[in-house]
Amino acid sequence: MLAALLDNPGVMIVTVGALVGIAATLVGTFLVLRGTSMLADAISHSIVFGIVIVWLLTHQQSGPLQLIGAALTGLLTVVLTELLINSKRVRQDAAIGLVFPLLFSIGVLLLNLHAGNIHVDTHTVLLGEIGFVWLDTVSLGGYEVPRALLSMGAMTLLNALFVGLLFKELKLATFDAALARALGLAPGVLFHALLLTSGTAVAAFDAVGAILFVAFVIVIPATAYLLTDRLTLMLAIGVAVSIGASLAGYGLAILWDVSIGSMMAVMTGVCLLLAFLFGPRHGLVAQAHERRRQRRLNESRTLAVHLYNHEGTPEQGEENVARALREHLLWPSERAQQAILKGLDEGYIERHGELLQLTATGRAMAREILAPGRE
C-alpha cells in the first residue's frame, strides 16, 4: 500500500504541498502576529545570495551546508533591516524594500557570472514546479521516495519541534516582549531563531518556489488570524487551511489544466477572501451585522429614554407617539416603525391606541441608562 501511495503523483504532490504549507504556517503565524510577515518574503528572495555563496565556496548544490547558508542569509537580512530601522532614517517597510532586493540582485549576478551551469536559476527559485516532485526520488528502505517529501517532512518536523518546545516563550515574546525581556527570555534571540527557519524556504525551492512559499507563510496565517484570536486554534486552522488549499489547488489545476503551484497559491487567496468576508468576528459580514445590532440597540435605548422622560408629563400625549419619533427625533418612518415593533416584541413598550407606554422592563432599562448621568 505504501508503495502505491509513493507511486501516485497526485498523492505526492498534495502531500508535499500540505507539508510546505504546514511548515510555513508554524513559523509564519508568529511573524504575522508580530507584524513582520514581509520579512518572510524578503528572506525567501535574499537567500538566493546564500545559496550561491555556499556553492562558490563548497560546490554543493544541496544538503546541510546549503541550509546553513540560507539560514545565515536570512539572519543577515534581519540584521541589516534592523540596522536601517534603528538608524531612525527609514521605516520598517522601506528597510525591507532596500535590503532584500540588494541581496537578491547580488545573488542573481553571482549566479549568472560564476554559477551559470549549476541547477539553480531564478525561474526555479521564484516559481518552482510542484507538479514534478514525484519524479525526483531517492531509494529509502526499498522504496522510491520523492526527495521533496523527505526534505519538507524533515522541515515540518523541525518547525513543529521548535514551536512545540518553545511555545510558551514564543507566545510571551510575541504578545509582551517587555515582560519576556524582564523574565530573561531574550525575545530578540527567539525572534532571530524563528527566522533561522528560512531553511524551510530552501527546502521548498525545488518543490514550490518562493512565490508559493510566501503565500503559505503569510496568507495562510493571515487567514487564520481573521478567524480566531486564540493562538493554538490559529495554528490548527493554519494547518487545516494548508491541507485544504493543497487539495483544492491540485484538483482545480487538473480540472482546468493550469499550473498546480499557482492554483494552490490562488486557493490560499480564496481562503483569505472567505475569511475576510465571513470571519466570525473580523469578517465584513459579521462586522456589518454587529453594526446593525448596535444601531438597533441604540434605537431601543433612545426610544426607552424618550418615552421615560415624557412619561406622566403634559407633553406625553404629543411626545410618546410614533409621529413624534419622526418629527422630534428626526427618524425616518421605516426606522421609527422598526424601533416600535422591536420594543413591542421585546416587551419593554406597550401600545394603547397611538400612545406608546413603557412596561416595567422598559422603565428599568431607561433608569439604568440614565443612572450614570444622574450621579
Q: Any idea of the CA torsion for 355, 359, 361, 366, to the nearest 10 degrees? A: 40
Q: What is the pLDDT of residue 116?
A: 60
Residues 269 and 313 reside in one and the same domain = no
Domain range for residue 359? 286-374
Q: Which of 246, 263, 279 is the last residue of a domain?
A: 279
CATH number at residue 221: 1.10.3470.10
> What number is the average pLDDT over the span 342-363?
93
- Which residues contact residue 23 at a Cβ distance below 8 angstroms, ignoring those fewer than 6 apart? 152, 155, 156, 159, 197, 200, 203, 204
pLDDT in tens, 57-89: 887 766 677 767 777 887 788 788 888 888 888
pLDDT in tens, 40-60: 777 777 877 887 888 888 877
Distance CA 66, CA 83 (A): 25
Residues 89 and 7 reside in one and the same domain = yes
Residues 307 and 331 reside in one and the same domain = yes
Of the listed ranges 41-55, 216-230, 353-367, the least confidently predicted one is 41-55
Of the listed ranges 95-99, 114-118, 158-162, 349-353, the least confidently predicted one is 114-118
> What number is the average pLDDT over the span 19-46?
86
Residues 216 and 83 reside in one and the same domain = yes
> What number is the average pLDDT over the span 178-194?
77
Q: Which of 279, 299, 322 is the last residue of a domain?
A: 279
Residue 220 has pLDDT above 90, yes or no: yes
Query: What is the chain's mean pLDDT, rounded?
Result: 86
Beta bridge partners of 328: none
pLDDT in tens, 121-157: 444 555 567 888 888 899 988 889 998 899 899 999 9
Q: What is the pLDDT of residue 209?
A: 73
202 versus 283: the higher-pLDDT residue is: 283
Residues 146 and 189 reside in one and the same domain = yes
261 versus 117: the higher-pLDDT residue is: 261
**Rounded to 5 degrees, what are φ and ψ at 279?**
-55, 145
Number of domains in the chain: 2
Q: Which of 249, 279, 309 is the last residue of a domain?
A: 279
Angle between helices 38-58 and 9-34 in degrees, nearest 10? 120
Residues 310 and 266 reside in one and the same domain = no
Q: What is the pLDDT of residue 375?
A: 43
